[in-house]
Amino acid sequence: MINEILTTKKAVAITFDDGPNPLYTPQVLEIFSKKNGKATFFMIGEQIEKNPELVKKAAELGHEIGNHTYTHPKLSQLSLEACFEEIERTERLIEKLAGQKPVVFRPPYLDYGPDTLTVIEQKGYPMIGALNMEARDWEKPGVEHILEVSRSCVKNGTILLFHDGYGDRTQTIEAVRVLVSELTLQGYQLVTVTELLNVRNSS
* The one catalytic residue among 115, 163, 164, 168: 163
137 in catalytic set: no
163 in catalytic set: yes
* The one catalytic residue among 17, 18, 115, 164: 17
Q: What is the DSSP string of the chain?
A: -B-B---SS-EEEEEEES---TTTHHHHHHHHHHTT---EEEE-HHHHHH-HHHHHHHHHTT-EEEE--SS---GGGS-HHHHHHHHHHHHHHHHHHHSS----B--GGG---HHHHHHHHHHTPPBB--S-GGG-GGG---HHHHHHHHHHH-STTBEEEEE-SSS--HHHHHHHHHHHHHHHHTT-EEE-HHHHHHHHHH-
Catalytic positions, written as ranges: 17, 163
